[in-house]
Amino acid sequence: MPAVFVVIGVLIAFFLAYRFYSRYLAEKVYALDKNFRTPAHEFEDGVDYVPTNKHVLFGHHFTSVAGAAPIVGPAIAVFWGWVPALLWVVLGTIFAAGVHDFGSLVVSVRNRAQNIGTLTQRVITPRARTLFLLIIFFLLTLVNAVFAVVMAILFEANPGAVIPAVLIIPLAIAVGQLAYRRRVSLLVPTIVAVALLYAFIPVGQAFPIRVDGLANALGLEVRTTWVILIFIYTWFASRLPVWLLLQPRDYLNSYQLFIALGVIFLGVAVGFDRIVAPALNTNLPEGSPNWFPFLFITIACGAISGFHSLVSSGTTSKQLDNEEDARYVGYMGALGEGSLAVASILAATAGIGTLAVWQERYANFGLASDNAVGNFTEGVGHFANNLGIPVSLGTIFAAVVVITFAGTTMDTGIRLQRYIIQEIGEIVRVGSLTRNITLTTTIAVLIPLGLALFPGGGETGGFVFGRLWRLFGTTNQLTAGLALSIIAVWVFTRGRNPIAQIVPLTFLLIMTTWALFIQLGSFYREGDWLLTILDGIIFVLALWLIIEAIAAFRRAREQRRAGRPAGAGEGGGPET
């Protein structure tokens, strides 16, 4: 099947979804109010609470949620066939991710920009808040560990990507200074910065940066050295004011993402490449995981992702200038990530050669996991070559895209994990965890660093993608389902119809708890005690939180029957 037909069909579906479904959500479900005073104005401090132009904020939100996961997950999931992967991405983006991301942002804004974990206390119970914060803590640990390994793999395999990937940091700081200190229009600096970034791709190819010497001096593997360097960077980056690095870098990355999607989709059209992978892979080797339920947790971003609720309620809600911007930032951001996931599917099914090559790369689930990042970058290199760009430059370009997106997500992820540690410190009444930012940032870095360097963590597959990715996926989708339950209760108590949340949350909770249970047995039989313990803890927390959420729905229904008001906040002031 010509891949361009898929592109056209998906873009039409996404356009209609934004035009009609997101408007329904904005007007009938979330009831946006342009006169509502957002937390960015109420608590403006120039560091975390900063009223931000919706296009700049879209850039931050889009690139924070569109990290490596919507690239890696779909590139693995086509192992079961490209049709089920594509259907889950498209339907999941429209009816689950858009509802989830948009709703998380609105509910947080209506509650003083509190994160989704804290909102659990208001909407469900104080006990549920503690449970959810623990799940979020595990999720952020897995996100930061996995993404650090993804970046390390790409730096090791593509040393030509190091210079352009690092260059974006000073470019972003310069753009931030011009925008916030000198009030210069962003258009010209952005164009110049993006042009410089791409101009340095051939420079990076000519002068590749390797850390082999440093690794040998330290007695470490090259990949391990990169992982450590990446976490050192995130320690400093997550401490800077959002306007200095995070916002402008995300804004630049949003343009880079649009350019990457343009290269992929135009390359598909010009080359008229055909999808060589089977629509449904019926020739799976014995012992392969079943696509039901594992497809829905392997594509952990790109269809719906619990991490998005952490970004929406953790950083984006603190920067929303006008509540009506939430539709553009939240729902459109989900569609953007869905587009990236579709691009990854095409790169892994139409950009890597013939059917024989595809069958070799996807001979079993382990190989599919091992080759995911490489298949994406190689596929993008092929599409770029259709446009006259040398394959080597196109491959480095794709690597830079993945690295910079993963770096942005890690910056946000470490910052969010610091917030969670501070909240846990409040619960257990440990003052040093609530006041000492240096300490909480260090803890937020060391825990995922330890997991990333766990024996086996330095391998491309095995622990990281064959095993850790599955646990990340289930935890991520579980978080999305629980976030949807909070949004649904919030919507229901305000007299509106929560069906838009109830359908995807029911599906996700079934899939994720099923997958967690299967994995628990698998990890135990294989003697992987670290993941057995982590899986078991998350499984127990999940069941407990589901029970709490059901009880909250029953209480909300009783309140509605009794005619009691849901609380303050509609049209101004904090929610209760």
Chain segment 198-211, per-residue pLDDT in tens: 999 999 999 999 99
Residue 576, pLDDT score: 40
- Specify the pLDDT at position 567: 46
Residue with tokens 């791709």: 201
Structure tokens at 547: 């029970």
Identify the pLDDT of residue 564: 60
Q: What was the pLDDT predicted at 130?
A: 84
If you average pLDDT over every residue of the chain, what do you get? 89
Give the pLDDT of residue 244: 84
Residue 52 — φ and ψ, nearest 5°? -130, 140
Residue 333 to residues 64, 98, 328, 552, Cα–Cα distance (Å): 10, 8, 7, 29
Nearest to 258 by CA among 396, 59, 422: 59
Q: Report whether pLDDT(573) > 50.
A: no
**Which of 264-278, 361-375, 412-426, 456-470 is predicted least confidently?**
456-470
Q: Which CATH class is domain 3-466?
A: mainly alpha
- Looking at the chain, the whole-number percentage of residues with pLDDT higher than 90 is 55
474-483 average pLDDT score? 88
Q: How confident is the model at residue 91 (pLDDT cuts 50, 70, 90)?
A: very high
- Across residues 495-522, what is the average pLDDT? 91
Overall average pLDDT of the 179-192 stretch: 79
Task: Give percent of the chain above pLDDT 70.
Answer: 95
Tell me if 65 sits within 8 A of 333, measured CB to CB. yes
Q: What is the DSSP letter of 67?
A: S
Which pLDDT value is given to residue 465? Answer: 56
Domain spans in the chain, listed from the N-terminal domain onward? 3-466
Q: How does 221-257 read in b/e, with b if 16+ C-beta sit within 10 Å?
A: bbbbbbbbbbbebbbebbeeebbbbbbbbbbbbbbbb
pLDDT digits (tens, 9 = 90+) for 391-401: 999 999 999 98
Instruction: Dump pLDDT digits (tens) for 417-460.
Output: 998 899 889 888 888 888 899 999 999 999 999 988 876 544 44
Kind plus residue range of the DSSP H or E element containing 192: helix 187-206
Per-residue model confidence (pLDDT) at position 571:
36
What CA–CA distance (Å, rounded) separates 429 from 365?
45
Quote the Cα angle for 339-87-403, to 5°: 35
Instruction: Please spell the DSSP secondary structure of 504-542, one letter per residue.
Output: HHHHHHHHHHHHHHHHHHHHHHTT-HHHHHHHHHHHHHH
